[in-house]
Amino acid sequence: METLSIDIFPQTDLKKSGNRPYVIAGPCSAESQEQVLATARALDQMTDVQVFRAGVWKPRTRPNTFEGVGAPALKWLQQVQQETRLAVAVEVANAAHVELALEHGMDVLWVGARTTVNPFSVQDVADALKGVDIPVWVKNPVNPDLQLWIGALERISKAGIRRLGAIHRGFTSEQKSAYRNAPKWQVAVELKRLLPEIPVICDPSHIAGDGGLVRELAQKAMDLAMSGLMIEVHPDPARAMSDAKQQIVPSDLEQLLAGLKIRKENGRGYSADDELGRLRQRSNAIDYELLETLARRMDVVRDIGRYKKRNNLTILQVKRWDEVLQDRLEKAGEIGLDRHLVETIYQLLHSHAIKLQSEVMNEED
């Protein structure tokens, strides 16, 4: 991976007590002064909640749907600042949004998933942020493109924003699932690996698309050592003007937060003196055996390739491949291995074997 042009500074804004998550909560959209204030007052009682969120400009899939109240709603958020201890956050998608949000003294900004996909829009937001010191959270793009996510973080960072964070909100997927957006947790995990200083929080509401599934996703995010959560909360979700199905009522958020199991990310586990350390040493040793076995397997694949070349046989022998796959899946079942895991591994092995044998075919004699 090339060097990243991100100036990373600690997110001083992550005021959380101990291991508790940093929580941003509030309605998908600011709809009315009453709705905003009623929600904010309820959230003000929950110590984990640090920031009140509300969408003011809404990126809707189709026109002629509710596209947000716009600038007048910023006044309601100012009231939240006055009446509660909560900071307030809005989504910005262009320079005009940034200017209005800053003029109205918003505390935190976020870039939405449909903006992160477009470098022109992200650059427009970044240019409007030059010289401003405000925390900015960048949601993942709707497509699972880690480079696009990193690129957006870089653009905002280059504008001089130092309090930068990332929000994992899942990805559009063709595959049918109970969730509105596929979590693809490994994309967020890879972002954490590449940019360990950037806090990553999870938005289980937009992953779930269903209020009943938010809790399990929030717990999963905690188990993946994410720094916090962004959760959509509405006093009367059924009547919400956007994302009605996925919003939860304040008392449900309170229960969700109270029920979260927060585990330690680190601690022991790196020496032979403790159980986790010993288990990790065992798994390291098995990994080396696996890699050596794999190297031997690929040597045989090359020998088979040479045989096929000498005997003028095609690389792909579809009947043999089907037999191998069925046989290994059966074996996997017998020894208690997950079939999906084994199938994924064999699909990869087979496509790599074809690549190796093509190389062999093309070798000069």
Residue 68 found at the interface with ligand PEP (CB under 6 A) = no
Q: Which two tokens stand for residue 218?
A: 């929030």
The Cα 26–Cα 240 span in angstroms is: 12
Q: Site map for Mn ion, 11-50, x if CB under 5 A? A: -----------------x----------------------
Of positions 21, 55, 135, 151, contacts ligand PEP by CB under 6 A: 55
- Count of residues in the chain: 365
Give 303's contacts (C-beta < 8 A, 6+ positions apart): none
Residue 199 found at the interface with ligand PEP (CB under 6 A) = no
Q: Site map for Mn ion, 190-229, x if CB under 5 A? A: ----------------------------------------
The Cα 10–Cα 254 span in angstroms is: 28
Q: How far is CA 68 from the centre of its chain?
A: 25
Of positions 192, 206, 215, 234, contacts ligand PEP by CB under 6 A: 206
Residue 28 found at the interface with ligand PEP (CB under 6 A) = yes
Residue 59 found at the interface with ligand PEP (CB under 6 A) = yes
Of positions 109, 243, 256, 301, contacts Mn ion by CB under 5 A: 243
55: which DSSP letter? Answer: B
Residue 129 found at the interface with ligand PEP (CB under 6 A) = no
Q: How far is the CB of 53 from ligand PEP (least distance, A)?
A: 7
Q: Which is nearer to ligand PEP, 153 or 332 (CB)?
A: 153
Phi, psi of 333 (to 5 degrees): -60, -45
Name which of ligand PEP, Mn ion, none residue 151 binds, using a CB cut-off of 5 to 8 Å depending on partner kind. Answer: none
- By the 10 Å C-beta count (0-12 exposed, 13-18 middle, 19+ buried), 320 is classed as exposed
How many other C-beta atoms lie within 10 A of the C-beta of residue 156?
23
Q: What single letter denotes the amino acid at residue 359?
A: E
Q: Site map for ligand PEP, 265-294, x if CB under 6 A? A: ------------------------------
| Residue entry with tokens 């089907």 | 322
317 half-sphere exposure, CB direction, 13 A CA radius: 11
Segment near ligand PEP (CB under 6 A); pick from 8-16, 107-115, 264-272, 276-284: 107-115
Contact 124, 114 (CB under 8 A): no
| Interface with ligand PEP (CB under 6 A) | 28, 55, 59, 91, 112-114, 139, 169, 203, 206
Interaction site with Mn ion (CB under 5 A): 28, 243
